[in-house]
Chain A
Amino acid sequence: MHIPDGYLGPITYGSLWAAVIPIWIYASKKVKEILKASQVPLLALSAAFSFVIMMFNVPLPGGTTGHATGATLIAILIGPWPAVIALSIALIVQALIFGDGGITAIGANCFNMGFAGVLVGYGIYKLISNFSRYSSGQISNAGTRNSPLSTCHLIGAGIGAYAGINLAAFLTAVELGIQPLLHTGADGRPLYSPFPLSITIPAIMLEHIFIFGIVEAVVTVTVLLYIKKSHPELIRG
């Protein structure tokens, strides 16, 4: 899902840079308000986790590979805006040092994976866990309240993670697929990514819907279960 340099023409990569800069400014403002000095290591841990988990390429036999991003997981642990910053740092280091994702496409990749994936994944998690709080409201007085990370929270986290990575994948597919419409050379052939939407969307979405989305959900729930045991204070519910 890391778009390399050259796949997006200037209209697309320029727009996504223009979109991501105010997002970074807003996220920085939010993080300045909420981040405590004691939470800084957690921000660094989260960014490092995202960087490392993306090195675990999951193969489709005879086909392509994909990976989890940790976006929803990190948003649950440190909040959505710090997660935007953490993912962006990981994505920028990947682009600059390892050529994983292009320089011109930093805006696109940070928008897709580091913003849209984070906010939607976290939003769905919140929606489902709030619903669980509401529906368990009646029994809450019996004393089972505030157990951090109930089954409903975990289901919300899994569904959020699945939806988040699929949204990021969908945005990637659309950004790639509109290139032949936006830019063609004098000979009529595409100047940048040459594949139309009718190819990019099924190619990218099928593998995320059936495999990588599930990988993301499993990684998210597994790590949450581990942290629930080892560091329950980190889970704010």
Chain B
Amino acid sequence: MANSKFGKLWIGIAILIILSPVGLILPELLKAGGAWGEWGADEIEKIAGYIPHGLKKLSELWKAPIPDYAFSGWDKGVKSYIGYIFSGIIGAALVIGVSMLIGKIFAGKNGNS
């Protein structure tokens, strides 16, 4: 099977997911906030002094099921790290599923070598 050929690389992805809480812990330790320009409406209010009207309206357009890779009530400490790993698993699984599907459709009858 083609997949076994890339076995080591799949393991690499799994290791990265398990290590992903590093991407939460390091910013916490070094007191770094989120990315520049990725603030929520309330944070914008703190920075700019007001919430732009259009920004507020559009920012309420979509409620992501797992916002910020955190499950509700699991947004602090060790629980947030576990949630982050679960988010990594769910996200990677979706990304892999969609790419496999699209890839199979696109590859179609193209040769196997």
Q: Which A residues form the contact surface with B (CB < 8 A)?
A: 1-7, 9, 28, 31-32, 34-49, 51-53, 55-67, 85-86, 89-90, 93-100, 102-104, 172, 176, 183, 185, 189-195, 200, 203-204, 207, 226-227, 230-231
Q: Which B residues form the contact surface with A (CB < 8 A)?
A: 2-3, 5-6, 8-10, 12-13, 16-17, 19-20, 22-24, 26-27, 29-41, 44, 48, 50, 52-59, 61-69, 84, 87-88, 90-92, 94-96, 98-100, 102-104, 106-108, 110-113
Q: Contact: B91 with A98, CB < 8 Å?
A: yes
CB neighbours of A193 from chain B (8 A): 37, 52, 55
Contacts A37-B104, A48-B96 given; indicate if A98 touches B67 (C-beta within 8 A): yes
The 27 listed contacts between A and B (C-beta, < 8 Å) are A1-B35, A2-B38, A6-B56, A36-B107, A40-B104, A43-B100, A44-B99, A44-B103, A49-B12, A55-B20, A56-B16, A56-B23, A57-B27, A58-B23, A59-B29, A59-B32, A61-B32, A64-B35, A89-B98, A93-B91, A98-B66, A98-B87, A99-B67, A99-B68, A183-B54, A185-B54, A190-B52
A-B contacts counted at CB < 8 A amount to 237
CA distance A55 to B84 in the complex (A): 9
Minimum CB–CB distance from A73 to chain B (whole Å) comes to 12
Q: Contact: A52 with B64, CB < 8 Å?
A: no
Q: Contact: B58 with A192, CB < 8 Å?
A: yes
Interface of B is mostly: helix
CB neighbours of B27 from chain A (8 A): 57, 59, 65
Q: Contact: A185 with B53, CB < 8 Å?
A: yes
A98 in complex: contacting residue of B32, B61, B69, CB < 8 Å: B69
Q: Contact: A97 with B31, CB < 8 Å?
A: no
